[in-house]
Structure 1
Amino acid sequence: MDPIVIIGGGIIGASLAYNLRNTPRPVVLYERNALGSGTSADSVALFVWHQSTPDRLSHKLRCRSWEYYEPLVDDETLSYEQIGTLDVAKTAAEAASLREVTETIEAFGAEATFLEPDSLSEHGLNPDAVTGAMSTPEDGYMDPSEIIQHYIREATDAGVTVETQTAVTDIVTEDGRVTGVETEIGDHSAATVVNTAGPWAHTVNEMVDVSLPLRHNRGPVVVLQKDTSFSLPFIQFGDGMYFRGEGHNQAFAGNFGARYENAELLNPAGARSIDHDFYLRIDDRIQEAIPRLEGVELANEWVGVRTLTPDGVPIVGKTDVSGFYVGAGMNGIGVTLAPAIGEYLADVIEGDSVDSDVQSYLSPARFS
């Protein structure tokens, strides 16, 4: 029996392998490097109820993901540091907008509160530099490698085959449907091929002439460290700059990068460096608004690549090529959505019933 082939061993591919582990058809996952070595490794690993642009279906997917994560966090299979999110306003107009967002997210069922400037000093912010913030206190961060290893362990125990350090170099089609894959170590037949290749998703789509509007942006991350202990929630500003506590004496500082309309296609394997101006912007923002981080020193840095879609919603489901499916364009919230996306995509592949609203929301056909 020809297998279901999954291309990409990041958090989405691992989730899909887990959710397909009991299907009667063999399942093979190919990862070009090590498991979780791409976008998953470069992320700041947040699970967030926060949304800057509230969307009820996105909230529904988050709820489904947390139904999976919560018992694993409770029994300490997975770690979760609940630090909360502060979406910070610096102008009266931003504050008014965030008040409306807060009300909408509360109506969805998430815990959200708008905090006035005077109450923000206890969270490490300078109240004189801001006009308030939306707080979603149940947000936190996880360990992507821990999640991926859990998924892969469960999948392989059930019979899924995982091949790392094995790039898929082409996808074979015949009469409009996939029939196999070519890899660095040989050619293999396939009944189904699923593109969960993260930043490489566009390249994989090109193998079967599937055109989907995926673009990349650069996500610089700088690790800051102090000799003394401190805590910090996830703090994000309207210009895309963010800070996130890490452990007892570190913080991440980063930027969400270009929006889709200003983004482009990048070489995911290309060398990437942080502009010196970014260090200056971080220092300026700390001096202006985050006194708790004064005196930090640079401990590490990297630049990740995020995959974006025009509407900020992942592209998940079947394509016009029979047997070829895609699960890509996580827009920086792959950790948040991975359990729900993997479960949904497995149901689509196996022909099980799915929520019609979610199907329309995620479907590649919305860009036809």
Structure 2
Amino acid sequence: MKSKPIRSTSRRAKVVLSTALVVCAVATVTPTAATAVTAGPTTARDGLSAGADAGAGVGADAGVDLGAGVERISVATDEGYGAASITPDGRSVVFTSLKNGPPQGGNEVYVRDRRTGLTRTVPLIESWTPAISGDGRQVAATAPAQGMTAQRMQQHSLDLGTLPVSCHRCNEPSLSSDGRYLAYGGLAQPGQRRQVVVADREGGSVSVSLANNSAPARPSLSGDGRYLAYQNLEKADVYLWDRTTGTTSAPVDGPSRSASLVQLSDDGRKVVYLSGSDTYVHDVGSGTAQLVPNVTGVAIDPTGRYLLYTPNGTGGPSLVLRDLRTGTDETVSDQPATAETDSVSTDGRDVVFQSAADGIVPGDTNGTSDVFVRRFF
């Protein structure tokens, strides 16, 4: 596998709104992080107590260089973690515990600030991958409604508390960069058909698609909330909706193949989808698609240049980052690992992933799944 030249940073968001919910406090958790540094020191600070001044010493504007290497994000040792996403600037990571948390039997959601070294417990109980806005200020996740089995959507601002969202059996949240727009999939009644909705926190929502099945829609918003990619498995196609014109494209995969969506790039210019054993990166402007054969695409960076993928077949690394412009690859993990959408920061600088392997960083002996970030420069 070829090695790739070093590069630079930035990134995206997702989550939003409608009828009322609950407001909860945000707790601060401060266990010690483990980091394997291969170039330059890791200066993220840990061990701050709740209520400590995170702005003293290492803070939001401190310009901290975390150094290249691998950092363990889920630093507690008593449970497993997964379902992680990262902001475009690589600063904040949202992830979930794999244990059931009170009071509703779902999984707890955490946000790790890599500059301050603080991990915040967000009062959301979720059962699917949470989303985080590009500015790192808001998260969205699904949760069982009080006393009900149906899911509901919760959006939580780290500044404002829980924000109102109203939907029926909804999941798969995707947020715009500032958290104003929230896209999600849900079941529309009657008939329990799958719908894709984009809600505006400043008022109103749009039902973008309605399918005669309950298959996942995997909605993916651009950073500015203008474009939405989603899949319709009833027709086995991927579509792109434009908020400004109110129009939906013809299938981006064309008339001759079936496809499932991976992710829309943050700038709205690239749509990654799977078809057969291959991955395609569709260029919205030119209407052409770049073929990446015999791999399973996992995520794309906000600029649409760097593709995270899993090689098909056995042997070799489990996660690889490809520069689509030069065709060069870098290994993210050569041990068993998985990743979600929104797992690559701008310019491919950081990649967040989950692994139960022991030897990724020193001292990881809890024998369960943890969340890691590999920084390439």
Structure with the greater alpha carbon radius of gyration: 1
TM-score by length of 2: 0.28
- More strand by proportion, 1 or 2? 2
TM-score by length of 1: 0.28
- More helix by proportion, 1 or 2? 1
